[in-house]
Structure 1
Amino acid sequence: MSLIRKLESVPKDLREVLLDLVEELERQREESVTKREFNELKEIVRELSEEVKKLAEAQRRTEERLGRLEEVVGKLAEAQRRTEERLNELAEAQKRTEEEIRKLAQSHRRLRGEVGGLS
């Protein structure tokens, strides 16, 4: 015998309470999580946890590489500074050389004039 037929034999005020109770139970059942849904959720959480671990490891490796790059960039900056210092030293030496050549050229012209005056 179906539940509806059985309820017909129940007094009306009690029947309404029972129907309200059945409706409430149905509503709660629809809102509750089934075991299958819960297991699916657990699997999703497990997969996400694995992916987070992989991301954390990738982040660690990236930070290591970044540390090595910072070290190399520091060494390159120091080498660049030394190169610029040396270039400045060479530029100063070039100026001194040019000044010496200018003086030699003047001396050479003067000497030629003196030698030319002797003949």
Structure 2
Amino acid sequence: MNFSYELTQKYKEFKGYTQDKQVCLDVNGLTTGNLSDIKKERRHLTANQVIFICKEMEIDFKPELIKLAIERSKTKEEVSAWTEVAKKISAACVAGLLLITASFTQVQGAHSRKHHSL
């Protein structure tokens, strides 16, 4: 299964829908014919459709746009470049989280020490 179709199916599940046509009614420009072509990997969601679906599901659309770019890539070089971008973004996010966690731990540690005098 490809990214675009997987995202529409996650959305369908998120909304509690039972039919693909319910997804099509929500997503601007998406028809049952388009969705059929997406399933057959002859078509992809648009960036705006991905953004809409992600906002509806309250997830960050930026990583999903990178997945869309990878899916839409026409050459191995493009796939490689977008995959590298995704890895760098992930690494930067992990580094940022580690830095925040370390800073928070140091502040918590400083506040939790109590000085007792006799």
State the TM-score, normalizing by the size of structure 2: 0.35
Higher relative contact order (CA 8 A, sep 6+): 2
Task: Identify the structure with the greater helix proportion.
Answer: 1
State the TM-score, normalizing by the size of structure 1: 0.35
